[in-house]
Structure 1
């Protein structure tokens, strides 16, 4: 049976060049980077070279990059530091953020009594810029704004320039969960005054279990994990050398081919939208996911005109992998908190599916999926 993988927002296949890089590292860099002998020094040198190269991709210094086990850990490290180390008393976020942000903000509110405010959203999940400004105006507390650059479920792009200018105007710090953006969009941190961003390598054809947090220079970092003072004291734990080098290679490949891959994947998305509309003119698209200029070219969230609780299961049986919402919760029976927030009751009951594409997706994959959808939606 031919299989089709259209769940790249959950995780991406590892690039063969990345696998080769990691295999070489496993054979050659087995030393502990904290050891002072030549094997340890070699591993340490490889990690620090990777840090410098990754920093260069974002036009920052190596000291501003902290390696983590994931984007979730990076979000937690940043948000906890903002409150416990940088004096943040108030966080402004949205109700459709990734749970790595939402649950952490709820924890900080309950534990440290910070003020937690939510910016208003429109019917497509877009943030209300005017409301954000009112929230920033109406407080003298030290504030952090935390808004994701690309929503992982509906693909909405944050109007980053407008948000950055508001944060600068009102002296608020700005954190963005950029997990779905890194490796797909160019981010120059000298041109954009983001204070904190995060990455997860498996979202851009790298390995799972490794990511990084960016802390703009001047912000001290208190560790959440204690023990060995690795990562300049910011995160104790023996460095995942092979995964770090894999992430470096994956990012190098992604940035080198950024425009070529974007053009290709975007053409697939346009084609898929047109083929879906041929199935039924009642098919809708959640959020701004069908708007090419306002959403990620890798994500399309489709709302079918019926309630079919077996649709995902039926697609899986046919060898087609997709997601019904955030794959980070795929083991949960809870519905999408993003769609619950932006859809009307009648629309929320209908079946929504997130299709997400990569450079390895083919037109044949999409044709196979369309054929099966026609059969299942009859």
Structure 2
């Protein structure tokens, strides 16, 4: 199987798995201990959590703290609901974890439009009285990179909070400067699933969603998993140390992928984009049939979180595409562990299946 679905989840880095193993030990070793216990075993586990916290914090700007969560969805809920803002403005192409939560808090939430390339206008109107603005750093479906720094400055000027979903950008791009709240997920940067984090700028006050033992500075009660924290931390540290080589590798893969799919139409901006995401469409393509016939290639028709819904992509709709055109799009995601041969072989399989439909 050739794996080209890096936006849905990245492979677990071997180094992250190795960092987790001591904390998955049985009764013959102290790694099973509760990190909130006061004894020696517990203190050792707590120390591992704090090492991981520092490793994850290195992905963010100075002047804030890292709160561990179960993933980015919880982090975004904590930021949006915990901010106590009642009037919200979010981009029209946000992930459902932002859109649905924003609509829960503010049914009249303002949607900031994007242009035909999928980029939010940094001068888009923000309604008076808005208490929180949310714009993602990199879109998960089409890979467009948003002008988050400019939007954060505008948000600060109206005394509102700026939340950035940096799930697709963390560990790949520089942290979004000027944000008050930043959400990330471990499994999108080669770490384990089941853990994420919310970075909270110093001075920003939030109310907890989960009540109980008061862990995570009172913002997120519940026993932390030292294994998940250690894996997350190791993955974050690896992104820091391999940042340059990872970026160079992705650029080479992007150039190759664009040449292999030169006859397809690109969705989203080619320039303002994370180049590990190739979202393309082909007139007349039956994507459901294509997915079923390319059993040896793992790729996507859109967001994994919305797969199976049958609904056209709200992201592609926001670009101005018709529902018909939206349903002819595929997404290929690649990164650190993708080889050139993987792309070449996958493209051959996809094009063979496309030709069987008489499209190419």
Q: Is the TM value for this pair above 0.5?
A: yes
Query: Aligned partners of 2:207, 2:155: CA distance in 1, in Å?
Result: 24
Where structure 2 has 5 or more consecutive residues not aligned to the other structure, the ranges are 356-360
2:291 is matched with which residue?
A: 312
Contact 2:189 2:235 in 1 (8 A): yes
1:336-375 alignment runs, 5 A limit: 336-345=313-322, 348=325, 350-375=327-352
1:285 is matched with which residue?
A: 266
1:36 is matched with which residue?
A: 38
Matched, 1:68 2:59: no
TM-score of the superposition, structure 2-length normalised? 0.92
- What is the CA distance between 1:325 and its match in structure 2? 0.6
Query: Aligned partners of 2:326, 2:17: CA distance in 1, in Å?
Result: 42
Which secondary structure state, in structure 2, belongs to the residue aligned with residue 295 of structure 1? coil
Superposition RMSD in Å:
1.7
1:120 is matched with which residue?
A: 113
Contact 2:312 2:323 in 1 (8 A): no
Contact 2:113 2:318 in 1 (8 A): no
2:3 is matched with which residue?
A: 5
Higher helix share: 1
Q: Deviations over 1:70-118 (max 9, x none)?
A: 00100000000112xxxx23211122100000000111024xxxx5111
Contact 1:71 1:200 in 2 (8 A): yes
Q: Which moved more, 1:251-260 or 1:167-176?
A: 167-176
TM-score of the superposition, structure 1-length normalised? 0.88
Contact 2:283 2:325 in 1 (8 A): no
- What is the CA distance between 1:369 and its match in structure 2? 1.3
Where structure 1 has 5 or more consecutive residues not aligned to the other structure, the ranges are none
2:17 is matched with which residue?
A: 19
Which secondary structure state, in structure 1, belongs to the residue aligned with residue 217 of structure 2? helix
Query: Aligned partners of 1:271, 1:177: CA distance in 2, in Å?
Result: 29
1:180 is matched with which residue?
A: 168
Query: Aligned partners of 1:363, 1:57: CA distance in 2, in Å?
Result: 28
1:349/1:143 CA distance change after superposition, 3 Å: closer
Matched, 1:129 2:130: no
1:298 is matched with which residue?
A: 276
Query: Aligned partners of 1:350, 1:243: CA distance in 2, in Å?
Result: 37
Matching residue within 77, 89, 93 for 1:92: 89
Query: Aligned partners of 1:234, 1:210: CA distance in 2, in Å?
Result: 15
Matched, 1:376 2:357: no
Q: Deviations over 1:121-152 (max 9, x none)?
A: 2122211223x2x32xx51x252110000000
Query: Aligned partners of 2:145, 2:77: CA distance in 1, in Å?
Result: 22
Count, aligned residues: 350
